[in-house]
Structure 1
């Protein structure tokens, strides 16, 4: 029997990896994830992707989170937004000047995925409320955790309820929308407390997560069936 877990409260897409995203009322979900999500990244001359951290695949580019991106109804290319939310006419030239790096530009995903982990992140309001209580002296906002789907859970739902979903499937309650295979949680890093427009630096958020939950937060998922997802859709475990 299907178990209702909540209602889709907000949908987020991040057209350019590691920049701010756009809120959506409805979105097509395909095998890759939310259509257009992380479809572009800032890439350097060595092929590394702009990020908040350094790895063999990622290059730390301080300031990316101060920028925004949006696709709207287009999937042929994103709009890059400056820190005041204004569209940038020449994204590559702007990025080179803003980040003070000469070898970078916007690049569409090719053979290698732009996702750090799995393609879809679900986060509950119950867990967000816990973070707000654990870090009461800072601004806690879902944008810090970059979820795709914020799920409004019923009153009394415990924090980190996402952990109980792993190994199961989530789908719209009426069966008409996409289906997600819920796998594991994200391991959070310093980006959870990094400053971005409207949100000051807040290292206490990551400390609270490390102390209480090994730094993990959300439910990461793969898409097991494509479909359209909208704000207001009820979600169920099946």
Structure 2
């Protein structure tokens, strides 16, 4: 575990992505269990080969350009640990009546459907991604004139760090456990290797190849801290992140 680091920041924003690779929804608080944020990436766009829509091509994922221009959210006030099914939002933020029909038209493919997670996980790696304002502010300084905010990196938690915190401070958390709020405990295991998805346009954020190029040059294409859930609980805006 190493030395305790203590309070490293507070939760500034919480993000959940009901449909993988679409724009997410900001939350004030959310339950977190072993799988991650309740309902996070619980649905995905699946093709006839069983691969899920993403910003890249791998064994499990297929690149489907256009998903980032869409959004997703769960209906407000839905009770229970699973808040679905989600609403799919068009590029103007309006819910669509038939998500699968809309996706087929939007993507120009007749073999896709909106699918709930089954035996194969929708997560790229680990269930929780945490990013700091220190790292985000550094990227902004490195690429002036480019619209940069956390939506490009799709974290679940954006942590507000104190002034003077160095960029990529998330590296120091790897191998440590952390407390979030009263009951939630997580363990940071590694960081994400970034792909072209960080450059892609989404709604009001234009395409920019400078984003990924900058991360590659400065930090070997890695950004954030990925965690597993040690003990379930609730995360809320304003909660302290305490390492150790």
Q: TM-score range by the shorter chain?
A: over 0.9
1:226 aligns with 2:229: no
Q: Give, in whole Å, the separation in 2 of the partners of 1:140 and 1:95.
A: 27
Q: Which residue number in structure 2 is paired with residue 179 of structure 1?
A: 185
Matches within 5 A, 1:1-238: 3-71=6-74, 72-74=76-78, 75-172=83-180, 176-238=182-244
Q: Give, in whole Å, the separation in 2 of the partners of 1:73 and 1:105.
A: 26
Q: Give, in whole Å, the separation in 1 of the partners of 2:92 and 2:21.
A: 17
Q: Give, in whole Å, the separation in 2 of the partners of 1:52 and 1:122.
A: 20
- Cα-Cα RMSD: 1.0
Q: Give, in whole Å, the separation in 1 of the partners of 2:24 and 2:84.
A: 17
C-alpha offsets along residues 3-60 of structure 1, whole Å, 9 cap, x if unaligned? 0000000000000000000000000000100000000000011100001111121111
Q: Give, in whole Å, the separation in 2 of the partners of 1:188 and 1:123.
A: 13
Q: Give, in whole Å, the separation in 2 of the partners of 1:219 and 1:53.
A: 20
Give the C-alpha shift of residue 70 in structure 1: 0.4
Give the C-alpha shift of residue 167 in structure 1: 0.4
> In the alignment, is the contact (CA less than 8 A) between 2:39 and 2:84 conserved in 1?
no
Q: Give, in whole Å, the separation in 2 of the partners of 1:13 and 1:30.
A: 14
Q: Give, in whole Å, the separation in 2 of the partners of 1:52 and 1:192.
A: 9
Q: Give, in whole Å, the separation in 2 of the partners of 1:104 and 1:205.
A: 30
Give 5+ residue unaligned stretches, structure 1. Answer: none
Q: Give, in whole Å, the separation in 1 of the partners of 2:199 and 2:214.
A: 11
Give 5+ residue unaligned stretches, structure 2. Answer: none
Give the C-alpha shift of residue 177 in structure 1: 2.7
Q: Give, in whole Å, the separation in 1 of the partners of 2:77 and 2:223.
A: 30
